[in-house]
Structure 1
Amino acid sequence: MSQEPICPCEELIHPRPISNPPGRDTLLYRVGDFATFREALLQARPGEQELAGWRPSTRGDLALQLLEWWAYLADILTFYNERIAQDAYLRTAASPGTVERLVRVLGYRPRPGLGATGVLAALINSRLPLTLPQGLAIQSKPGPGKKPEIFELDEDTRLEPSGSLAAEVVAPTNLAGRTDVLLRGSLTTVREGEQLLLVSKDWAKASDKGRGYAVVTVQAVSREKDSRGRSVTRITFDDDIPGTIRPSNSEPAPATNYRLLRASQTAQRFPYGSVNPGNSTVHLESIFRSARSGEQLLLKSTSGAFTLSLVTNYAEQVWYANDANPTIPPTEPAAVIPIPHTVLTFSPAAAAATVQVDFGWQEVGELIDIPPASVLASGVTLALDAPLPLPQGATSRLVLLEDSKGQGTQGRATPFGSTTANQVHVSELDSQTELIPPLRLLHNLLPVSRGATVAREVLGSGDSSRANQSFVLQKSPLTYLREGAGYRSTLRIWVDSIEWKEVPSFYGQAPDAHIFVTREDEEQKTQVLFGDGVQGARLPTGLGNVVASYRHGSGASAPEAGTLSVLLQSHPGLQSVRNPVPVTGGADPDPAAKLRQLAPRSVLTFGRAISAGDYEALALESPSVNRARAYWTFDTEQQRPLIKLYVGDTPEAKTSAELAIRSASDPQRRVEVLPAQEKPVQLKLEVLKDPRFLAEEVEKGIRRALMDPETGLFGVKTARIGTTVYNSQIYEACLRVPGTLAVHLLLFMHWDVIETWPNHSPGEGGFYVLEDLKLTLKEAATHA
């Protein structure tokens, strides 16, 4: 009834041999499909007699149609059998909700979505302190394609008047190497080309008087406004200020420790005869009685070099012109001309003979520090326009710093000297946040978390005749908030006005225990379950006597800085709220890939850590940890084993992992938790593309195969700490993309250095992050 295939490749094998090597993400279970079943049904059975003469035709053959119906049925049955088989195993499960149901059998509860938390700043227009109530709602301004998110105040918070202080960065200006200085006020007396003296205020007390001063020439004068709108004058010089401006090799002093001076008097050297015997004495051209002892002298030598010295002795001398010995009074005074003049002795000595002396110094203006163009530091000193209010008994307080662009960071401000001082030092800042002055310090901080409150929702009526009653919350998702290494629910349940307690499971609960259990379904709707009278109490009979209060809203999406500012409730005296620091900590529910990894490990650990894999599993259960890798090593100092646990790649991952393993690890076994080291990678690929596929789609597919956070070769959920990456893996990832025919060029670069070997190891505690992918697509030639 059937014919031999024209081409061997057309041969249909039935039943298909089933082979499932280990490590595959799919399971083969079908013995055939419609084509193979139809072919098998058309084959004559051995010894067939009744249908030996039957030749099926394509026209009106009901027998052929009947066989094809059976082939369709077999195709459908084997398809669903294979799906059922795949969904029976955790590694291969693919149907929605299947992974969640499988891990529930293990007693593992997937982590739900978490709400973000953060700190806002409040500005008030009241002269008296006021208190904002817990639950005050603030909504975000959503960007394009986003939905508004609601946050609420976590606790009653007392606010001080205003809440905002103008802040100016106090930073010593290193004058050495600069070409300009800044003076307070608007000055009109400085002229271009004028020569000035820049000198340290304590220069006279310095042991090395060859340092701490500089002679500068004015090139330009400009009048400006500082960050607070005050007038300042910038003086630019024609050359860099030399390094000798520093009194010593220590850190630079503030600009306020220097004086910018101009000389009110200038004297030339005495022009007659040879009356300058050394480099520590000078005869002036006339009488200058203002140059007394202690006066600063700026001495100009014959070579043009300047020396700053102090007058140690003042004297007056008469020089007699037209006399044989001009320094001795003549016997006939009428025959000579007496010329009185000043003689100054000074220290330190000049390097060469002096030809000019400047003295009688006057202040040009008050020097001030040049504010930095940006601030990027873990600590900063600020001058405020008013004292920072402190809580009673406190010496510091948490504050937010906001810059001119509305961005900011959180820190701890400590006033100098006393609580009434206007200068504070702000520490614990995020060193990665760059602030652009002018700055303002915000001290009325509001701790907030995501979630809108649903108050007194009636879940339903209790029925003591029913075991394990359950109800579903009307709003979803239920808000969970981070707490230590784990999280806590915001759900509270009252039955007949008595509050019942949420527990992880019914196991071991007393028959009369007022407890309940929650779980989330595939749509993140929360189901509330009560006991059966054996493990946990049944609900008492009543009408609408089960009442819940909770908050809803969660996820990794969080408002950007400056967008969480819409007050949903007015409050007397509250002017506005600001969030220069974005809220953080939100997380989406655990994806199926993470459940496949963590659920089996939870069965092995049972809340305790023994092997290195146990430490990894416990760390990965923490919401902040995306990667973890444990290494056994030996502590040479303490002469005992040591476990190094590397975690990444969020800032709070280290602290979160330490909390997660604290209660589960052996106190006699030393564990060191370290942040994993990110190793940036650049890839250059040249790919041959099938001309039938769009270049844009092929490029998107390759980038997804390499960079997708969930499934990409270098993704957060895929690239493990310390795992070697092979070129063959990169080739395989690219070639899996439809439309990719070949990879002709692959360059793996780390820190711009091309690695030529076929395998690449990030080292202990390191992991690769694909920062840049330079992809070139070339189209394969087509043949007619």
Structure 2
Amino acid sequence: MSEQANDCGCCAGSARPPGVRFNAPGLPAIDYRIGRHGEFKAALLARVSSSRFPALAGLRTRENDDFTIAWCDAGAVMLDVLSFYQERMANEAYLRTSVERRSIVELARLIGYRPSPGVAASTHLAFTLEDAPGMPSLAAGPVTVPVGTRVQSIPGPDEQPQTFETVEPVLARVGWNAIPAQQSEAQTLPAGTRELFLAGVDTQLQPGDMLLLVGTERFDSSASKRWAVRPLLTVEADNDRRITRVTWDEALGANNLQWNSDKAVRVFALRARAGLFGNNAPDPRMLKLGYISGITTWPWGNNWANYQIQGGNIDLDGTYPKIVAGGWVVLAGGSGSEGDASLPGEELLVRINSVRQLSRSAYGLSQRLTRLKGDVNPDPAHFALPDTLVLAQSEELRLAPRYLPYPAYGAELALDRRVADLEPRQPLALSGKRQRLRIVADDPALKFVPDGGTAVATRPGDSFVVLAPPVWLLSPWELALPPWLLEVFLRFKPGLTLRWRLADRSGAEGVLDGSPFSVALEPARKDDPVVSELRHVAKPANAVAHTRDRTVLQLDAAMAHVYDRTTLTVCANLAPATHGERVGEIAGSGDAALPGQRFVLKQSPLTYVSAATPAGRASTLEVRVDGQLWNEVPSLFGRGPREHVYALRQDDEQRTIVQFGDNQEGARLSSGQDNVRLSYRKGLGVEGNVRSGQLTTLLGRPLGVKAACNPVAATGGQDPESRDEARRNAPLTMLTLGRAVSVQDYTDFARSFAGVAKACAIWLKSGPARGIHLTIAGPNGDAIVAGSATHQHLTEALRRYGDPLIPLRITSYAPVRFRIRARIKVDAAFVVEDVLKAARQRLHSHFAFDQRDFLQQVAIDEVMAVIQNVSGVEAVDVDELYRLDPGATPDLVARLFAKPPQLQPDGSVAPAELVTLDSDQLALEVMP
């Protein structure tokens, strides 16, 4: 071919048209275009030069403005458009590759799946009734809070008010408004006691005063030895509680085996100290009476005649008008060797039968005295006149209740009074402030270790908030301490180590290991926030126990917080409520001549609530035709011609369409004027997951109800299913077919349940944990706690559609955060701040909750690959990568593992973990 021919380009290109592409399995899109504009045009131009078309041999130009070339170009454009839409149609024909929501919806309908329209959040509302302090007759009686009582939220920034309605009636009582937790208990003063609490702050006691403790047995029998007298070591008045705390050195029962009794003890202050008459008598040898042959003589020998207690009379060395019959005196000292270290020598307790004021002359003395006659005659040999101390003028003091010094936590809750009519399974709202812990020892080894941070030395006076019950580090075990044992440890301060889970003043969480010598409990502060939680009374009939003056409850689970018990209150006026507001409307008129009539709800979105169905939801729509209630069904297919049923569909604008039958599949509507009436609730989605304490505005106030509030945050709200979620969830219905048989079925069933975002089921075969353990997580990483509507209904659904004989445990997941610190080398052609911002966004998106799954690990290679794919990054060096476990220290770990559900030593099961990046623990630096 000549050079000139080559220059015109008339023979360039290939006459072969583009071919069909090959697609490997598992690709996210189908490459189905046989060609594009350039390829089609090149093929047409090559055909123009083909020898098969000699008539076109004279066409040697290939300029675009030529009419023939323009027609080829137009044909290439047409083919490009047709092939594009052909490829789109091919992609839309498959669930995995389709991108249009309508395609996914229609494909899902082929297997009977409808994208979830969302579900409403749920919570409990605590109602406060009108009370009348000091005038109980004016307080509101038991009030029934009806179904449909509306409470609206106070919106925060960029929020809209949300309305909740109660879904069950509740009988509320004034006495259930705010029941305080047990603050005190009756003092029993067992052996070993070194303190007691007295009522009032005007006891006029001082250190060194004598306190007499008398068991009730001693009032009936003088032979009883259950009594003790102690000199006071400290006297502390508590003006807030109006009590006085007194202590002594020697424990009760140290030398008294009879002290171990459970009977009551009465307490007396011995206000006066006296001596026996004659204790200060002169030495008779000082009285010189005469000489006999130069020898001095004494008529009484070396002592006075009858120099001892006589006839059981206790003669005091003065007048004591405040000593009265019925009181007590203690003779102490004497010549014996018994007694206590605080009062060595013999001790004798005497109850006074009579008191006389008289004069007496003896032992060289003459004075007025007080003569006591008691129920016990002192032994003159044990109580010599000069050596005996008489403690008298007894004044009874009232014992105050012993205020409990330890916090409230665990699964047992004692109330401060007896509360009637509480029942098993009844919901309770617990509210209060967290307990505080104060450092009291100057110990350099005592350090607070923040999660993921370095240890910080503590100083005396540092105060922390207690986040979890302390544990006893008894190698190799960690034993949780019940509240009463914590009090024992903090009172007697044994040489052991306790681990505390704490938060410092900046809110950083961590652990502190220390001896009971080093710490002390501290009351909550005024500015500490109030925390709340929802608990239920346990199921057994004995979960509610009553004593003479209080009620003790067994809860369905341990309390989530460690409360300062002086601030803890319980509200039992709780009613379940869900997001949504009820409306009513006239849908239109039925026409028996029209098959398959449809009506569109005027307000949207229709509220769906959590329910124990395979889908996990149920609509709140009620349809009445001529006043008769019709029933909702998933589909009209296979329904009889006389069945009064309807089906619901959602369009792309989230409008709800009510579809009626045609007398072949479902009955037709009867003719009538405005005879189709609807009643439903509107509102659902994550916007209903309001914070605790946000629902406070009563839109309808039942008589006697003063206020309402949600003690815990609303949970379970889920937006309508997105395109990608529908693509992922639609096949799950075919995997389970509405049943849970295998372990994987439990995972798939839970994953497609409304209000559940992720699920992981495993089979445990050892000990008491044998059975299926299911870990679940809510939308956006929210916890699905036991007792919530989603948790309860999922449990019921799996019992109904799974094997009811298989042990099943459902727990909320364990969120685990990790930290990244990396250095990045940025290309000089890029703006450093923009590259760092893009890298942060890429990391947060890649390691977000929606992108991770249970048991999914994090590798340093993955982190580096994510950063390296950001435009402008030349190199990256990861310096820190580690899990933010309690007590974790900065480190570089090549691979972070998410733990599966694990059996614990106590028989419980730790839930599965899901590892995500902590938003505050990402540090990106520029590499020099």
TM-score range, shorter chain: 0.7 to 0.9
RMSD: 5.4
| Alignment: residue pair count | 701
Distance 1:737 1:17 in 2: 34
Q: Deviations over 1:227-250 (max 9, x none)?
A: xxxxx246598xxx88957999xx
**What does 1:477-556 correspond to in 2, within 5 Å?**
477-484=605-612, 486-556=616-686
**What does 1:557-706 correspond to in 2, within 5 Å?**
557-631=688-762, 645-648=774-777, 650-652=784-786, 655-666=792-803, 670=806, 672-675=808-811, 678=814, 680-688=816-824, 690=826, 691-692=830-831, 694=834, 697-706=837-846
SS for the counterpart of 2:744 is: helix
Question: Does the 8 A contact of 2:338 with 2:345 survive in 1?
Answer: no
Residue type matched to 1:431 in 2?
M
Instruction: Tell me whether 1:136 sits opposite 2:149 in the alignment.
Output: yes
**What does 1:119-130 correspond to in 2, within 5 Å?**
119-124=125-130, 127-130=140-143
Deviation, structure 1 residue 92: 3.0
Instruction: Tell me whether 1:777 sits opposite 2:924 in the alignment.
Output: yes
Match of 2:107 in 1: 102
Q: Rate the CA distance shift 1:396–1:620 in 2: closer, same or farther, 3 A.
A: closer
Instruction: Tell me whether 1:264 sits opposite 2:277 in the alignment.
Output: no
Question: Does the 8 A contact of 1:115 with 1:479 survive in 2?
Answer: yes
Stretch moving more, 130-139 or 170-179: 170-179
Question: Does the 8 A contact of 1:135 with 1:153 survive in 2?
Answer: yes
Question: Does the 8 A contact of 2:329 with 2:392 survive in 1?
Answer: yes
Q: Rate the CA distance shift 1:295–1:740 in 2: closer, same or farther, 3 A.
A: farther
Match of 1:54 in 2: 61
Distance 1:522 1:594 in 2: 15
Stretch moving more, 755-764 or 305-314: 305-314
Residue type matched to 2:560 in 1?
Q
SS for the counterpart of 1:477 is: coil
Deviation, structure 1 residue 356: 8.2
Residue type matched to 1:776 in 2?
A
**What does 1:316-465 correspond to in 2, within 5 Å?**
362=395, 366-370=399-403, 375-384=408-417, 388=419, 390=421, 398-403=427-432, 407-411=531-535, 417=546, 423-428=550-555, 431-433=559-561, 435=563, 437-455=566-584, 457-465=585-593
Q: Rate the CA distance shift 1:314–1:658 in 2: closer, same or farther, 3 A.
A: closer
Q: Rate the CA distance shift 1:376–1:570 in 2: closer, same or farther, 3 A.
A: same
Q: Rate the CA distance shift 1:593–1:365 in 2: closer, same or farther, 3 A.
A: farther
Distance 2:845 2:115 in 1: 26
Deviation, structure 1 residue 148: 1.0
Residue type matched to 2:94 in 1?
Y
Question: Does the 8 A contact of 1:723 with 1:761 survive in 2?
Answer: yes
Stretch moving more, 305-314 or 136-145: 305-314
Q: Deviations over 1:167-210 (max 9, x none)?
A: 3533559999999986544437355x5567697978999xxx99
Question: Does the 8 A contact of 1:298 with 1:359 survive in 2?
Answer: no
Match of 1:113 in 2: 118
Distance 2:57 2:252 in 1: 116
SS for the counterpart of 2:415 is: strand
Distance 1:375 1:19 in 2: 68
Match of 2:91 in 1: 86
SS for the counterpart of 1:768 is: strand
SS for the counterpart of 1:449 is: strand
Say which of 172, 183, 191 aligns to 1:170.
183
Residue type matched to 1:778 in 2?
E
Distance 2:233 2:772 in 1: 64
Q: Rate the CA distance shift 1:71–1:106 in 2: closer, same or farther, 3 A.
A: same
SS for the counterpart of 1:609 is: coil
Q: Rate the CA distance shift 1:743–1:128 in 2: closer, same or farther, 3 A.
A: same
* TM-score w.r.t. length of structure 2: 0.62
Deviation, structure 1 residue 621: 2.8
SS for the counterpart of 1:684 is: strand
Distance 1:42 1:591 in 2: 46
Residue type matched to 2:588 in 1?
G
Deviation, structure 1 residue 595: 2.9
Instruction: Tell me whether 1:469 sits opposite 2:609 in the alignment.
Output: no
Distance 1:2 1:267 in 2: 139
Distance 2:61 2:212 in 1: 116
Distance 1:698 1:345 in 2: 97
Residue type matched to 1:424 in 2?
T
Match of 2:477 in 1: none
Deviation, structure 1 residue 473: 0.7
Deviation, structure 1 residue 685: 3.2
Deviation, structure 1 residue 552: 0.8
**What does 1:201-280 correspond to in 2, within 5 Å?**
217-218=233-234, 221=237, 223-224=239-240, 226=241, 232-233=242-243, 262-266=269-273
Match of 1:187 in 2: 202
Q: Deviations over 1:631-662 (max 9, x none)?
A: 45767999xx9655444552237654442333
Match of 2:500 in 1: none
Deviation, structure 1 residue 529: 0.9
Say which of 731, 744, 754 aligns to 2:877.
744
SS for the counterpart of 2:820 is: strand
Residue type matched to 1:562 in 2?
G
Deviation, structure 1 residue 309: 9.5
Distance 2:389 2:765 in 1: 74
SS for the counterpart of 1:778 is: strand
Question: Does the 8 A contact of 1:121 with 1:400 survive in 2?
Answer: no
Deviation, structure 1 residue 510: 0.6
Distance 1:665 1:766 in 2: 21
Deviation, structure 1 residue 313: 7.8
Question: Does the 8 A contact of 1:211 with 1:246 survive in 2?
Answer: no
Distance 2:18 2:338 in 1: 110
Distance 1:100 1:183 in 2: 75
Stretch moving more, 136-145 or 354-363: 354-363
Deviation, structure 1 residue 515: 0.4
Distance 1:297 1:742 in 2: 91
Distance 2:96 2:78 in 1: 28
Say which of 763, 766, 769 aligns to 2:912.
766
Question: Does the 8 A contact of 1:44 with 1:52 survive in 2?
Answer: no
SS for the counterpart of 2:649 is: strand
Distance 1:212 1:93 in 2: 89
Distance 2:75 2:331 in 1: 115
Q: Deviations over 1:265-307 (max 9, x none)?
A: 457998999x9xxxxxxxx998699899996788899999536
Deviation, structure 1 residue 516: 0.2
